[in-house]
Structures are given as structure tokens and as C-alpha cells.
Chain A
């Protein structure tokens, strides 16, 4: 009996990467603790998040148990499907809050850009894996096209934040696939040169956000309110914070969106610089473990997917904390594992599932 349980446990955890799991759990606990405070001790929110975590773990477990080679076959079809949906959004999508992002399929309404977040790195990785032995500059050009199409479509919705984040995940794949340094520098130079052009095609609200970043005080009760209140929360935290459940900015309702995009301000106010350093360390553990798994991945596809997942995870964390701390514009990016919100949680855990699949399949292959 005991043996049977033991076997079942071993089976169930065969594809779970221990170190990654441990690092993720640290962040999950930090997230729960913060959410409890941010929601003014609401157990409803906690229960909800626990349920979301359950779903996310299930998704992660399933992803971890899919051999990476099988996933590779799904990469291109998933990408094409997401691309078709993005085109459909551009043609028939619903306008919500002034942006055309949602597609109503009758039974479900979805944001195809969320799908593309996962599909794009997979597709790029698949492409490089396929032409692994004969990579030329032409291949990079085609790969670039693969990611410029969806990014442009999303940017036009307009959803510049998501577009840039998806572009970043694509860039990580290109970079890890070995895009020559010369090209990288050339593109970077071009990018800087194109900034004024970007400015001219940006929407007014996007420009406002950038301007607000440079000077939040110009509209303290409007667009600058979020940034001002979150920097006050962070700054007033000091070395060790005001203590759990003691943040005045949080509990007197000055912080907007404090359970979702601005939850880091709550954490930062209550735990201070010391807590922030600790949180950065936890994120580093997850990212680091992801990169280590990537280094030991068996195939190019696995390496590129793994690397992209780890780096995208980092990007989300960095952009969110940078936004709360007032060095990046306000974009709707949650802090992974900490912010309240089911969809983002599930997709992050799906990524961890893929990393675990890469990590454990290699071991199994070897043995």
C-alpha cells in the first residue's frame, strides 16, 4: 500500500523540476501574503486565487508531461491559428475601452494576443530548429517577418504594451538562435533612429503615458495619479517597510489597482527595500533555474523555447516593477505570480510546465 502510494507519487512528480518548483512556490507564497493585505483581508480573493492556482498547477503538470518533441509539432499550427484570429480581430473585433482587442466567437470571447504570447516563441523556435544546420541571414529575415506580422497587428489594436512584450519574446528567440552581433547592433541603431517615427504613430493616450512618466505632477489627479501614488507607496516604505497590513497608501485606498497591476506597490510599502531585494532574489532564482534548464536542453527547439520563457518571465517582472517604481510608463502588465488574475497565472504556469518538460525529458532520455 505504502509502496503503491510511493510509486504513484513518483509517477506524478516524474516531470516536475524540483528547484524550479521550489523557487516558484516562494513567489506564490509571497504573492498570497501580499494579496491578503492588498485586498483588505478579503478571503474571497484568496479563495479565488487558490482556485486559479489549482487550475494553473494542473495546466503546468499537463504541459510538463508532454514530450517536447510532440509540442514542436503543434508550434506552427498554433501560430497560424493565432495569426488568423488576430486578423479576424482587426476586421470584426469588439471595441472595449477604446481598443479593438476582443473577438467574440459566440460561445467565448477571447483576446487572440494572449494566445500569440505563447505561440510566437514556439513558432520561431520551430523555424530555427528546422533550418538549424543551414542557417543563413535569409532565415533570420524570414523569422523576423514571422514576428513582425503579429506584433504589428497587436500594436494597431492598439495595445502597444502587449505588442512590445511579444516582440521582446520574439527577439529573445532570435538572439539565442545566434543572430549575428553585427545585425543586432545595426537593428538597435535603427530602432533608436526610428523612435521619432514611433512617436508620430502613437495614439494620444500612449503619448500621454510617456509624458506622464517624465513628469507625473503635470496631471496629479488624472493620468499621473497611478504613478504618483505608487511611488509614494514605494518611497514611504523605507528600509524595512511599514509592516504587513500597515501600509497607509494601501489600506486607505490611495493606491489604484492594488490587487492587480500595482500590487508590487503594496508589497514594497509594507516590506521596504529589504523585502524588495528579497523579492528580486526570488525572481532571480526562477529565472536562473530557467536559464540553467535551457543550457542543458537537448534540442535547439527546446533551448530556444526554454530561454524565451525564462527571459519573457523576467521581462514581465521587470516591466511591472519598473512601472510601479516610476521608471517605465504605465502599461497593463501584471507582476507574474504575485498579481491577482487567472489568465496570466495560467499562462505563466504553462510556461513553467514547458520548462519542466524540457528539463525532465532530457533526464529521461539519458537514463
Chain B
């Protein structure tokens, strides 16, 4: 009996156990079904999403940087080109302790203190987290040495990069400008202009000069490569590639040989020169002395060199031709004469008697001529040839400032010429409205008197002066001065011309041009202020000397105290065009603190014109003698 119960009990237990195993089996099936459901959800329903994610993981778009366009002069001489070189770069995100890494690198590759300083500066300025070069232009041996030690340097890599090179160094440096590494400000500007996408992968951007102005043409279109990468970002293979489009080449109007001759003619003196082809407005030479070596800037200039360039008393970084503003002095007189003729204020025959000064009615203040005692009887022709001040004092008094300012606008004074070079200064074409705006002061008649001889509030750039001279030379056709003649398409090699057409014409009476032209030619004849410089010239040349009084050049900088005397000397100016009957060249030249224009600037203009028209080589200038030449009693005009 007892046994029976126990057996039944055992049976019951067994069947309960079987039930429980069955429940466990169902449990297993249900949970596996849940898994299967989840797999179905991920692999079928959401498949597209996850496939995209996997592709995004594995495929990375790598920008392919285009070749930057070349800059060539009118004959094809190279001003800027590219070459490939190897750089040693550090990725700050992966390298860990940067100081220690650089110290260790210095053990196998030469790293100069200036490399370190530059690296530090680039690190501060760099956008996002990109590799920063510590050394550029590695030699084959250095590459081999690094390769052997590579395992010691995580985050340090050797990369082949395109570099910009300016083969002529300082020559034409203010025209070409330079490129530099893209900094945060550049990024902001590119973002504003919506160009940032095209700069993925680009390290450099034009910072000054043509490199800056024509950045859009020169940069080219960035290509893209679809690259398969692993989780560490290393490229495994290239899947597809959209090739980059190289930047366009710039073909300049500039003649590099003339540029070189002109720079040589400065002989180390400070100043500026702009020469323009009157028939086109093309710039033949564009000089600002001293220059600088643009190659220093390409991969970030080291801070010490930078501050040396910026604090140097000669200010090599200032583009004097474009940005420097100087009183035009007596070079202003031909324009005044034209104004008088055109506005009917003077006939060519009208003469004044110059006692050596001019006084306003009811005033005892004497506006003095540069020649004590005066020139005696002076008509318009003579007023230009001998540069008589009193003639213009009186003329200006009669014309009034409004008429003068209105007329001078025709020649582009007080306005940008619109040259294809960024950073052009505007100059001042003084007028009562201008004075009211600028100083909140009334215009005095005395102000007008100073303006008439290119002093007082009168300020121009050398570019404006050269441009105005070119307008006189071609009898009133106004071009926009331009450095670039044509842009050569990188793919089709076709040339696209830039700015060849006249902007406007000044409809002045032909005899008025003749009167002024004759006077300007006689400036360089016996008895004229430019005669000494142009004696024996094989061509006729129209010109005008000028001497502009200085307190300091108008940029507010402090001068080295020991040089203060020299820096307060007058600037020597000269404007010219030649050959006079069919001008092929117009120019304006200024020598800072050199004294009288006839004695100092005119000879420089002569050697430049000689070179351009006759091919005469420039004689080396004795810079020491030129700089210390006495300037006291030279004629102003």
C-alpha cells in the first residue's frame, strides 16, 4: 500500500517534471523567437539604414587639392609656381606630448629654433585638428632616417605636398604678394562667401597681392576621392575619384625685365614707381622699395622674422605704390593748367608778374614761391617748365576749391583707380565737403592756395599719379589700370582677356592738350626743371618734376630717432610719358626723403624709360651718394 502510494507519487513527480521541462522548452522557443524577430527588424526592416551606416563608416571622402595657377609676366617669365616636396608633419591629436615629440625628432632630423617657433605659431592659429608641419623640404636622407624610426613617433608623418615658390625672391614682391596657411579669419571669410567646401584639404590661401586678389582664379576646384578606410581612418584603397581642376594661370601685363631694371634703378633707396602703358592701362612695372621675400611666408613665417620685417624702419611690408599716400607736389601743376584752360580761367598767353610770393586780399600772409625773389613774368607754358608756384596760387584763388575738386575727379584723384590689386588707398581730393566730414571744420581760402601746388590736404597714391599721367599722355582716354592681361584656363589653355576697354573719355579741346603737352616736353629741355636728367635723350619725353614736403610719411609710425632728420626731408617726385608724340609708357616715381624731384627722381625715370624704349641697361646707382645728396636748394618743381 505504502509502496503503491510512493509509486504513484513518483509518477506524479515525473509528470510534473516533464511539464516543467516542457515549460522550459517553450521558454527557450519564445526567447529565440524574440531574437529572430529582432534580427528580422535589424536585417530586413531597418536594413537600408544600417547598410548606409556601414557604408558611411567605411567610405571616406578625401579632398584632392588642385594645383594652384601660375603667375607669369607678359613674356611668360615665371613669378610664382609650384613644386612637390616632403614635409614632416605632426598631428597634435595623436602625438601626445608635443614638446617631447619634437625633442625626440630633433635627434634624427635637424629642427632649427625657427622651425619650433613657427610650429608653435601654426598650432595656435590652426583650424580644427589638422597635421601641422614641423619641417618642410626634407632631403632623401632625412626621409630615410625618419622612416627607420617611424615606430617611435605616433601621429608624426611624412607627406608629399605641393609648395608655392616665388623664384625671383624680392623682385615684384609687392605685386605678386604671397600665400600663407589658412587661419581662422580666412575660414570665417570663406564660410561667409560660401567657398569653404572648395577649401577642404587646402592648406594655403592668397594673403596679399595678386595671390589674394585672384585667389578664386588661382585656387582651382578641389577634387574628391572616395576612399575605403578602416576604423583608424587609414586608407585601404581608392574606390572612385573626381580629379581636381587646376587653378587658372595669370598672364600679367607686367614686364619682368622692366620691373627688374626699375628696382635696380632704385639702388636700395626707398620709394615707389608705377609705369602704365597709356594705350591699354596695363601696368608695365609696379615697384615698392624695399621689397621682401614672399617665400618666407608660405609655410608660416616664424614670429621673429615677422616682427623684424614689421618693425624695420624702412617698412618693407608697406606697398608704397598702392597704399602709400603722398602729396603730389608740383606734379599737380599740369592738371591745374588743364583745369584753367578747360574751364576758361586762363588763356595760354596770360602772364603774371611773380614777385616771389602771393598774398590773399586783406591779408599780410605771404605764400612763397620756391624761388626767392620770384620768376618775373610767367605765362602758362613757363609756369610748368620752371614750375612757378605763384602762378598757381593766383589761379587757384580765382578758380575756387569747388571748381578744382570737381575737375580733378576726371583724373581719378581722391578715388580708387580700380586696379586688380587689393588694398588700394584712396588718396584725398580735398574739398569743403571733405574737410567738413573729416575735421568738422570750415574750408579757408588759404587751404585752396596750398592745394594748387599739390600740398596742403592734397594726397595721392603713386598709382593714381601714374594713371593720371597716362590719361594726359593719351589725351583723355581713361583705362582702369590692370596687372593681369589675361587668365589662362587650366583645362582648355584658352586665354580670357581682362579689362582691355576704356572706362571713359575726357572730351577736352585738342589745343588744350597740345598746350600742356608742349609745356611738359619743354620741362626736359634746356631751361626746364628736368633738363639735366634728360639731356641727350634719343626720344622726346613729356614730364613734370615735383618735390613734396614731409612731416612724416602718412602712416603714423614712429621713426628711429637717429634718423629723424633724414626722414623729414622732402620726397622727390617725377611723372613722365614717352615718346611724347606717341606715348608707349607713362610713369610716376617717388623717392622718399630724397630731396628735389628734378635732381633725384627724374634721373631714375630716365633710366627706366631708356631701358624700356632703347634697351639701355640700368647703371648701378651709388646708393650712398644718392641718399646723402644735398637737397636743400634744389628747385621744388
Q: Which residues of A contact B (CB under 8 A)?
A: 133, 172, 175-176, 178, 229, 231-239, 248-249, 252-254, 268, 272-273, 276-277, 280, 283-284, 287-288, 291, 294-295, 303, 307, 311, 314, 318, 321-322, 325-327
Per the bound structure, the CA–CA distance linking A254 and B47 in Å amounts to: 18
Whether the pair B232, A238 counts as a contact (CB closer than 8 A) is no
Contact indicator per residue, chain B 1-32, by CB within 8 Å of chain A (1) or not (0): 00000100000010011101100110011011
In the complex, chain A residues whose CB is within 8 Å of the CB of B55: 248
B53 at the interface (CB under 8 A from A): yes
Partner of B40 from the list A175, A232, A273 (CB cut-off 8 Å) is: A273
B306 at the interface (CB under 8 A from A): no
Per the bound structure, the CA–CA distance linking A236 and B39 in Å amounts to: 11
Q: A238-B44, A249-B57 are in contact. Are A288 and B25 (CB under 8 A)?
A: yes
Partner of B21 from the list A176, A253, A283, A327 (CB cut-off 8 Å) is: A176
Contact indicator per residue, chain B 487-527, by CB within 8 Å of chain A (1) or not (0): 00000000000000000000000000000000000000000
In the complex, chain A residues whose CB is within 8 Å of the CB of B559: none
Whether the pair B24, A175 counts as a contact (CB closer than 8 A) is yes
B58 at the interface (CB under 8 A from A): yes
Whether the pair B31, A232 counts as a contact (CB closer than 8 A) is no
Q: A178-B17, A233-B54, A295-B18 are in contact. Are A327 and B25 (CB under 8 A)?
A: no
Binds A, one of B184-192, B223-231, B279-287, B311-319: B223-231
B350 at the interface (CB under 8 A from A): no
In the complex, chain B residues whose CB is within 8 Å of the CB of A284: 28-29, 32
B42 at the interface (CB under 8 A from A): yes
In the complex, chain A residues whose CB is within 8 Å of the CB of B49: 235
Q: Which residues of B contact A (CB under 8 A)?
A: 6, 13, 16-18, 20-21, 24-25, 28-29, 31-32, 34-36, 38-40, 42-44, 46-47, 49-51, 53-55, 57-58, 228-232, 236
Per the bound structure, the CA–CA distance linking A176 and B17 in Å amounts to: 6
In the complex, chain A residues whose CB is within 8 Å of the CB of B35: 276, 280, 318, 321-322, 325
In the complex, chain B residues whose CB is within 8 Å of the CB of A236: 47, 50-51, 53-54
How many inter-chain residue pairs (CB < 8 Å) link A and B?
A: 117
Partner of B57 from the list A232, A294, A295, A318 (CB cut-off 8 Å) is: A232
| A67 nearest CB across to chain B (Å) | 22
- With A232-B53, A273-B40, A276-B36 already in contact, 16 other A-B pairs whose C-beta atoms are closer than 8 Å: A176-B24, A231-B50, A234-B39, A235-B54, A239-B43, A249-B58, A272-B43, A276-B35, A280-B36, A283-B32, A284-B32, A291-B25, A294-B21, A295-B18, A325-B35, A326-B42
Per the bound structure, the CA–CA distance linking A253 and B232 in Å amounts to: 8
| B269 nearest CB across to chain A (Å) | 62
In the complex, chain A residues whose CB is within 8 Å of the CB of B21: 176, 291, 294-295, 307
Whether the pair A235, B47 counts as a contact (CB closer than 8 A) is yes
Whether the pair B230, A307 counts as a contact (CB closer than 8 A) is no
Whether the pair A176, B20 counts as a contact (CB closer than 8 A) is yes
Per the bound structure, the CA–CA distance linking A287 and B31 in Å amounts to: 13
Per the bound structure, the CA–CA distance linking A176 and B44 in Å amounts to: 38
| B8 nearest CB across to chain A (Å) | 13
In the complex, chain B residues whose CB is within 8 Å of the CB of A327: 34, 38
Partner of A237 from the list B13, B43, B232, B236 (CB cut-off 8 Å) is: B43
Whether the pair B54, A248 counts as a contact (CB closer than 8 A) is yes
Whether the pair B50, A175 counts as a contact (CB closer than 8 A) is no
Q: A178-B17, A235-B49, A273-B40 are in contact. Are A280 and B32 (CB under 8 A)?
A: yes
Nearest A residue to B31 by beta-carbon distance? A318
Whether the pair B44, A273 counts as a contact (CB closer than 8 A) is yes
Partner of B42 from the list A234, A254, A295 (CB cut-off 8 Å) is: A234
In the complex, chain A residues whose CB is within 8 Å of the CB of B43: 234-235, 237-239, 268, 272-273, 276
In the complex, chain B residues whose CB is within 8 Å of the CB of A249: 54, 57-58
Per the bound structure, the CA–CA distance linking A133 and B5 in Å amounts to: 12
Nearest B residue to A295 by beta-carbon distance? B21
Whether the pair B28, A314 counts as a contact (CB closer than 8 A) is yes
Per the bound structure, the CA–CA distance linking A237 and B47 in Å amounts to: 7
Per the bound structure, the CA–CA distance linking A273 and B57 in Å amounts to: 21
Per the bound structure, the CA–CA distance linking A288 and B24 in Å amounts to: 10
In the complex, chain A residues whose CB is within 8 Å of the CB of B29: 284
Nearest A residue to B54 by beta-carbon distance? A236
Whether the pair A253, B42 counts as a contact (CB closer than 8 A) is no
In the complex, chain B residues whose CB is within 8 Å of the CB of A232: 50, 53-54, 57
Which 7 A/B pairs are nearest by Cβ-Cβ distance? A235-B50, A236-B54, A235-B42, A253-B231, A252-B230, A273-B43, A253-B230
| A65 nearest CB across to chain B (Å) | 26
| A324 nearest CB across to chain B (Å) | 10
| A27 nearest CB across to chain B (Å) | 14
Whether the pair A325, B38 counts as a contact (CB closer than 8 A) is yes
Partner of A252 from the list B40, B50, B53, B57 (CB cut-off 8 Å) is: B57
In the complex, chain B residues whose CB is within 8 Å of the CB of A294: 21
Whether the pair A311, B236 counts as a contact (CB closer than 8 A) is no
In the complex, chain B residues whose CB is within 8 Å of the CB of A303: 17
Per the bound structure, the CA–CA distance linking A318 and B28 in Å amounts to: 9
Whether the pair A277, B230 counts as a contact (CB closer than 8 A) is no
Per the bound structure, the CA–CA distance linking A280 and B39 in Å amounts to: 11
| B50 nearest CB across to chain A (Å) | 3
Q: A235-B47, A272-B43 are in contact. Are A252 and B58 (CB under 8 A)?
A: yes
Central interface residue in A231, A252, A253, A277, by most chain B CB within 10 Å: A252
> Would you mind naming 15 contact pairs between A and B with Cβ atoms under 8 Å apart?
A233-B54, A235-B47, A249-B54, A252-B58, A252-B231, A254-B58, A276-B36, A277-B36, A280-B36, A284-B29, A291-B25, A295-B17, A318-B32, A318-B35, A322-B35
Partner of A311 from the list B18, B24, B46 (CB cut-off 8 Å) is: B24
Whether the pair B57, A248 counts as a contact (CB closer than 8 A) is yes
| A236 nearest CB across to chain B (Å) | 4
Per the bound structure, the CA–CA distance linking A250 and B21 in Å amounts to: 39
In the complex, chain B residues whose CB is within 8 Å of the CB of A231: 42, 50
Whether the pair A248, B24 counts as a contact (CB closer than 8 A) is no
In the complex, chain B residues whose CB is within 8 Å of the CB of A283: 32
In the complex, chain A residues whose CB is within 8 Å of the CB of B57: 229, 232, 248-249, 252, 254
| A284 nearest CB across to chain B (Å) | 7
Per the bound structure, the CA–CA distance linking A52 and B265 in Å amounts to: 88
Per the bound structure, the CA–CA distance linking A235 and B42 in Å amounts to: 4
Per the bound structure, the CA–CA distance linking A338 and B456 in Å amounts to: 94
Per the bound structure, the CA–CA distance linking A327 and B24 in Å amounts to: 21
Central interface residue in A235, A248, A249, A314, by most chain B CB within 10 Å: A235
Per the bound structure, the CA–CA distance linking A294 and B58 in Å amounts to: 48
Per the bound structure, the CA–CA distance linking A250 and B226 in Å amounts to: 20
Nearest B residue to A284 by beta-carbon distance? B32
Partner of B236 from the list A133, A252, A276, A326 (CB cut-off 8 Å) is: A252
Per the bound structure, the CA–CA distance linking A359 and B633 in Å amounts to: 127
Whether the pair B51, A238 counts as a contact (CB closer than 8 A) is yes
In the complex, chain B residues whose CB is within 8 Å of the CB of A176: 17, 20-21, 24
Per the bound structure, the CA–CA distance linking A321 and B42 in Å amounts to: 13
In the complex, chain A residues whose CB is within 8 Å of the CB of B46: 235
Per the bound structure, the CA–CA distance linking A232 and B53 in Å amounts to: 7
Whether the pair A325, B17 counts as a contact (CB closer than 8 A) is no
Nearest A residue to B52 by beta-carbon distance? A236
